[in-house]
Amino acid sequence: MRLGITGNPYKTGIDKVIEHILKHFDDSELLIWNGLENNLKEFKNLNYADELTLKEEADIVVSIGGDGTFLRSARFFIEKPIMGINVGTFGFLTIYGEENLQIALENLKKGNWTCEERTVLQAKLNDKTLIALNDIT
Report yes or no on 50 lying in a domain. yes
Q: Grade residue 124 by pLDDT with cuts at 50, 70 and 90.
A: confident
15 catalytic per annotation: no
CATH number where 87 lies: 3.40.50.10330
Report yes or no on 137 lying in a domain. no
Report yes or no on 115 lying in a domain. yes
* pTM, two decimal places: 0.85
Report yes or no on 65 lying in a domain. yes
* Stronger pLDDT, 115 or 29, i.e. the higher one: 29
Domain residues for the domain of 34 are 3-132
Sign of CA dihedral 83, 97, 73, 56: negative
Among 50, 59, 67, 127, the active-site one is: 67
* Residues with Cβ within 8 Å of residue 68, at least 6 apart in sequence: 8
Report yes or no on 84 lying in a domain. yes
Q: For 47-94, what is each residue's pLDDT tens digit?
A: 999 999 999 999 999 999 998 898 899 889 989 999 999 997 767 777
What's the domain count of the chain?
Answer: 1
